Amino acid sequence: MRHLLGIAGWRRDELEALLDRAQAHLPGGPDASHVLRGRVVANLFFEDSTRTRSSFEVAARKLGADVLNWSYAGSSVSKGETLLDTARNIEAMGPAVIVIRHRSSGAPGLVARHVKCAVVNAGDGAHEHPSQALLDAFTLRQRWGRLDGRTVLIVGDVLHSRVARSNLLCLKALGARVVLCGPPTLLPPGLEEMGGEVTHQLDAVLPQADAVMCLRLQTERMSEAFLPSQREYSRLFGITPARAERMRPEALVLHPGPINRGVELSPVVADGPRSVILEQVANGVAVRRAVLEACAS
């Protein structure tokens, strides 16, 4: 049993092995419905996320697991129960794996230190979203074979993005160059220490990218004065058809979803030939099957 709390702490060969394992879980692969038969996967979602929760649920069921879905709304937490008490109560029901989504950075790690079963981080605050990074890397590897020497450009609100942090760590570990681009108010200090390169000039770096990963822009960032307006953001950092024209011919576009169409990504690009967004979603199930299998074993 091993937790997946973040990409940090995993070696390249371990990440590669996980991605190789995911390969076997793609549709058409060998039947895996016995892998977690009779075991329970508990989904603890303290924050809404239909996409990630559904993906883990489908992955767990395809491995033959029983799924316990627990959500914040109307739960004991809203009655004042602490995170650890909730986790210990769920643990008492005997799950093999607890999958946690939480708005506080570090929450899955806190739970992992106090329960005996495996814990999978399904996104914690602005810290990490490791399964998302793995499915992104898987998708790129599917297209490119290897990530060595490739440049991935991550564009947008890095400050609040767990997807950006996990991807930065994961892509770097797999040999890619990672450039982070966004307005100065949304790029936190110390990204270079994590291996990233930082720029605010999208048009200057766009032609270097083998893949552009757009981050979702939260509308509340406008009211918090990180940005003047969505309009200005879109003008400076949105992937418009005109910008897509200036990308390398074979360069890919990724997005963790859900997309603000016309803000970080124009609909034409999101649905166009560069986009691998739906492949990301499909690969997500295979990657999460591999994650659950690895953690439950």
Partner 1 sequence: MTTVLFQRARVIDPRNGVDGVRDVLVTDGRVAQVSQGPLPAPKDARVVDATDKWLVPGFIDLHVHLREPGEEGKETVLTGCRAAVAGGFTGVVAMPNTKVVNDSALVTELVLSRARDADLCHVYPAGAITKGLKGEELSEAGELIGAGCVALTDDGRPVMNAGLMRRVLQYATQFDVPVMVHEEDLTLSAGGAMHEGATSTRLGLRGIPSSAEVAMVARDLVLLEETKGRLHVAHVSCEGSVRLIREAKKRGLRVTCEVAPHHFTLDDRAVGDYDTHAKMAPPLRSDVDVKALREALVDGTVDAIATDHAPHGVSDKLVEFEKGINGIVGLETALGLTLALVHEGVLTPRRAVELLSDGPARVFGLPGGHLAPGAPADITLLSPSEEWTVDAHRFYSRSRNTPFHGRTLKGRVTQTWVGGRCVFEDGQLKESR
Q: Is 132 annotated as a binding residue?
A: yes
Give the span between the Cα atoms of 167 and 250, in whole angstroms: 21
Give the span between the Cα atoms of 82 and 79, in whole angstroms: 9
Q: Which is nearer to partner 1, 85 or 250 (CB)?
A: 85
CB 279 within 8 A of CB 256: no
CB 269 within 8 A of CB 275: yes
Q: Which is nearer to partner 1, 20 or 48 (CB)?
A: 48
Structure tokens at 201: 């000039």
Q: Is 52 annotated as a binding residue?
A: yes
Q: Which is nearer to partner 1, 84 or 222 (CB)?
A: 84
42, 110, 239, 290: which one binds partner 1 (CB under 8 A)? 110
- Residue 181 as a binder of partner 1 (CB under 8 A): the answer is no
Residues with Cβ within 8 Å of 22's Cβ and at least 6 positions away in sequence, in order, are: 134, 138, 283, 286, 287, 289, 290
23, 104, 240, 260: which one binds partner 1 (CB under 8 A)? 104
Q: Which is nearer to partner 1, 128 or 293 (CB)?
A: 128
Q: Is 51 annotated as a binding residue?
A: yes
61, 71, 142, 188: which one binds partner 1 (CB under 8 A)? 188
Site for partner 1 in 73-92 (CB under 8 A): 82-84
Instruction: Tell me the C-alpha to C-alpha distance, in Å, between residue 285 and each of 69, 138, 222.
Output: 17, 11, 33
Burial class (CB in 10 A: 0-12, 13-18, 19+), 224: exposed
- Residue 198 as a binder of partner 1 (CB under 8 A): the answer is no
Phi, psi (deg, nearest 5) at residue 150? -85, 150
Site for partner 1 in 20-79 (CB under 8 A): none
User: Residues at the annotated binding site for carbamoyl phosphate?
Assistant: 51-52, 101, 129, 132, 257-258
Positions touching partner 1 (CB under 8 A) are 8, 82-84, 102, 104-107, 109-110, 124-128, 162, 165, 188-191, 193-194
